[in-house]
Amino acid sequence: MKIETLAIQTTLTHDANAGAVVAPIYLSTTFEREADGSYQHEHVYSRASNPNRQQLEKSLAVLENGAVALAFSSGMAATTALFQALKSGDHIMVPDDAYYATAVLVTEVFEQWGLSMTKVDMTDLSQIKRAIQPNTKLIWIETPSNPQLKITDIQEVSKIAHDLGILVAVDNTWATPIMQRCLDLGADIVMHSTTKYFGGHSDVLSGALIFKENNALSEKIRTIQKLTGGVPSPFDCWLISRGIKTLPLRVKAQTENAMKLVEYLSHHPQIEVVHYPGLTSHPQHEIAKKQMTGGFGGMLSVQIKGDAKNAMALTGRLKLFTTATSLGGVESLIEHRKSVESADSPSPESLLRVSVGIENIEDLIEDWKVALG
C-alpha cells in the first residue's frame, strides 16, 4: 500500500461499542480490572497506556516503516527520553546547526549527568569519522537542517556508525516520511516533533520516536516513557491521528508551493541566496535527490541583501506570512531565526526561515513581490 492509503487506513477505527468510524477520545485515566486480576482491554492507567496513544503509536510506526513507535508530549520530550537511555560517560555527535534546543538540552541538562557531545558539520563525512570516540554511542542527524537546510547523507553516516556499533537517530521533523524514509535508508531511530507537519494545524504540541526494531533499546525507552510520563494527552493523540489523514496531501501541496516560491525568489535581485535542497545549485542537491524521494519539502530559508534590520523589516511588509516561530502548519509563517535563537547562534544575520502553507501560490508570490519592492 502507498503512503496516502496507509495514512487513512492506519487511522481508521473499528469500534466494537458503537461502530464509530472515527476514534472516540478516551479521557479515562483508569481502566477496569477483572475479578481474576486480569485487564480485559490491556490498559491499566493512562500514563502507561491509553487507547488513543496506542492507536497513534501504531500509525506512526506504519508511516515510518518501523517496528514500534512511542509518542511523547513534545518533540523535546521524545529527544530527552532517547538521551536518558544513554549512560553517564557516553558521547554523542550532533550537527553543528541542529535544532537549537537539541544541543542546548545536552549542554544544560545532560552534560551534568556525564553525557558529552561534539558538534560536527555532517555534510563532511570525514569530520564525522574524525569526531568518533571509543565511547561514542549515538550519531544524531538532522536533515534538512534548521535553518540552513544542509543535507546529511543518512545512508553513508549509517554505514560509518554501524561498522562501529554506534546508533543513528534522525530528526525527520522537516522532511516527514512523505519525503524521506530514514529507517529504510539505514537509521535505527527516527524522531519527530509531531507538533509540526503531523499535527499540521499549529494547535497541538507532541513528539515521537520510531524504532526500526523492537529491541532492548526501544523497551528501555518505553519504560522511560511510562515512568517519566512525558506523554501526550488523549486529545493530543486524537489531533495528531486526524492530522495524519491529510499529511500526504498537505505536504505535497506545501512542497509544490515551496518549489514555485523558491523559483521566484532565487531570481529576485533583492535576494542574496535561497537555501532549498531542491535547487540544483544547493551544495548537497545530489544527496537530497537520492534520499528525499518524495520531494524537497515545504521549508526554505532566504538571505536577503542587507542586515538583520532589513530582514526584520521585510517580515513586517509580508501580509500573508505570519511572523511567528514553528512550522509545518497549513498557514505560511516566516521568522528571523537568529534573534529567536540567541546571540551565539550560527544563523546568518540576514536569514529568514519560511514555512510555506497551502494558500494559493500566486497570492504568496504576489505578497513577496510587493514586500520586496
Ligand X SMILES: *Cc1c(COP(=O)(O)O)cnc(C)c1O
Contact footprint for ligand X (CB under 6 A): 74-76, 99, 142, 146, 171, 173-174, 193, 195-196, 205, 207
Which triple of cell numbers denotes residue 296? 524537497
> Residue 116 carries which DSSP code?
E
CB 275 within 8 A of CB 297: no
Report the residue number, 295 or 297, with the smaller CB distance to ligand X: 297
Residue 47 annotated in active site = yes
- Is 171 known to be catalytic? yes
Residue type, 134: P
Q: What whole-number distance in Å separates Cα of residue 210 and Cα of residue 212?
A: 7
Give the nearer residue to ligand X in terms of CB position, either 64 or 367. Answer: 64
Residues 6+ apart with CB under 8 A from 242: 11
Nearer to ligand X, 132 or 221 (CB): 221
Residue 100 grid cell:
537549537
CB closer to ligand X out of 271 and 355: 355
Nearer to ligand X, 196 or 337 (CB): 196
Answer for the pair 351, 334: CB distance below 8 angstroms, yes or no: no
The three cell numbers of residue 318 are 509580508
197 part of the active site: no
In angstroms, what is the minimal distance from the CB of 93 to ligand X? 16
Give me the catalytic one of 26, 53, 97, 99: 99
Least distance from ligand X to the Cβ atom of residue 155, Å: 20
Cell numbers linked to 184:
529504510
3-state SS class at 93:
strand
- Phi/psi of residue 288, nearest 5 degrees: -60, -40
Task: State in angstroms the smallest separation of the CB of 61 from ligand X.
Answer: 19
Point out the catalytic residue in the list 181, 196, 250, 353: 196
Cell of 130: 574524525
**Active-site option among 90, 153, 171, 236:** 171
CB of 174 to ligand X, least distance (A): 6
252 assigned to active site:
no
Catalytic one among 47, 242, 252, 305? 47
Angle (nearest 5°) at CA 332 between 328 and 333: 80
Contacts of 119 (CB under 8 A, 6+ apart): 93, 94, 95, 96, 98, 103
E strands, the chain, where?
68-72, 91-95, 116-120, 136-142, 167-171, 189-193, 207-211, 271-275, 299-304, 322-323, 333-336, 351-355
In angstroms, give the least distance from the CB of 220 to ligand X: 21
In angstroms, give the least distance from the CB of 21 to ligand X.
Answer: 29
Q: Based on CB atoms, which residue is closest to ligand X, 104 or 361?
A: 104
Question: Which DSSP symbol is given to 31?
Answer: -
Active site residues: 47, 99, 171, 196
